[in-house]
Amino acid sequence: MRPELAALSPGERARALLSVARTELDGRLWRAALGEAEGAGASSLAYAPRSDGLEALLQQAVGARPVRHDTTIATSAPTIAIPAALAPANARYGGMLDAASARTGIPAATLSAIIGAEAGRGPDGAWNPHSRNPRSSAAGLGQFLSGTWLGLARQDGTWLNRYARGHGLIDAAGHIAPGAKSALLALRYTPQAAIESVADYARANVSQLRRAGVAVGEGAADVARAAYIGHHLGPGDALRFYKGELSSVRAHALLAAQIGTEKAAHRVAQAGDAARAHRGWLLGYVEKHIG
């Protein structure tokens, strides 16, 4: 059994593997609906998924590869300084948020806000590490799409890349090892991997928006909003959103992916335009969950 799966409890491991199986199937259907072919080109951060089949998920006989770096997955971490917005039910993530913040420079409160807006919650407000979006391949605390997650795993300098290379899941050239894709995707359900990747993705998205001339602002709230919109839409669509260049067709597809086709159609009819409907919904969502 791979070490990254062994780090989970038997119940968590079973849920992670089952979720990956469902995600791969649902993701292919939803990408087809959005017109995103497997292997199609994407931005430097939002890689399109490669399909190596669901069979890889069942390859539990594949042995663990030697660990080349002392990188481990923590299932919990000491709480040093919990962000003010962190609910008591999520206190166990405080140390992980602080560590990711110290490494990337993205405030822990920003990371907490992104996860709070993305992840599912229990009755007590606790984030659900096994959150899944039934309309896409989004999964885990960060609700990463399969392609975006694999892109972060291939990208030099990310926490996920270092972990994946250290455990033989990816080689130095960024190629995923045979049979390792499902193990990589299962890491989305591991809190530390998800939180560190939210931080890497936020830093990259904010930097890309600024390089493109978007006036992100320097305040914590400004950075949090830009980081979330970048996380939610991906760098390409986020830039088009900020510039008012998101097409009606794309906006309609994105809105339907988030709230369902019936609700999306109702909002579009009310707004008179899909791009306007999507913008109104997203800005309202950001205001409610990010501030």
Tokens standing for residue 215: 């006036």
Quote the pLDDT of residue 217.
Answer: 83
User: Binning pLDDT at 50, 70 and 90, where does residue 136 land?
Assistant: confident
pLDDT digits (tens, 9 = 90+) for 98-121: 999 999 999 898 899 899 988 999
User: Binning pLDDT at 50, 70 and 90, where does residue 133 land?
Assistant: confident
Does 266 reside within a domain? no
Nearest to 233 by CA among 212, 251, 207, 211: 251
Quote the pLDDT of residue 220.
Answer: 76
CA dihedral over 81, 127, 222, 106, signed as positive or negative: positive
Does 194 reside within a domain? yes
pLDDT digits (tens, 9 = 90+) for 35-75: 443 333 333 343 333 223 222 332 332 333 333 333 344 43
User: Binning pLDDT at 50, 70 and 90, where does residue 265 land?
Assistant: very high
Domain hosting 118: range is 3-60+73-217
Q: Which amino acid is at 26?
A: D
Does 86 reside within a domain? yes
Total of domains in the chain: 1
| DSSP type of residue 170 | B
Does 102 reside within a domain? yes
Does 9 reside within a domain? yes
The model's pTM is 0.68
144 DSSP β-pair partners: 139
Nearest to 204 by CA among 282, 115, 106: 106
Quote the pLDDT of residue 135.
Answer: 78
Does 44 reside within a domain? yes
CA dihedral over 228, 231, 237, 240, signed as positive or negative: positive
Does 250 reside within a domain? no
pLDDT digits (tens, 9 = 90+) for 2-41: 554 555 555 655 555 554 444 444 444 334 334 443 333 3
Cα–Cα distances in angstroms (integers) from residue 43 to residues 144, 151, 166, 238, 252, in the given order: 15, 10, 26, 11, 20
Tell me what the mean pLDDT of segment 233-246 comes to. 93
Quote the pLDDT of residue 120.
Answer: 92
Does 280 reside within a domain? no
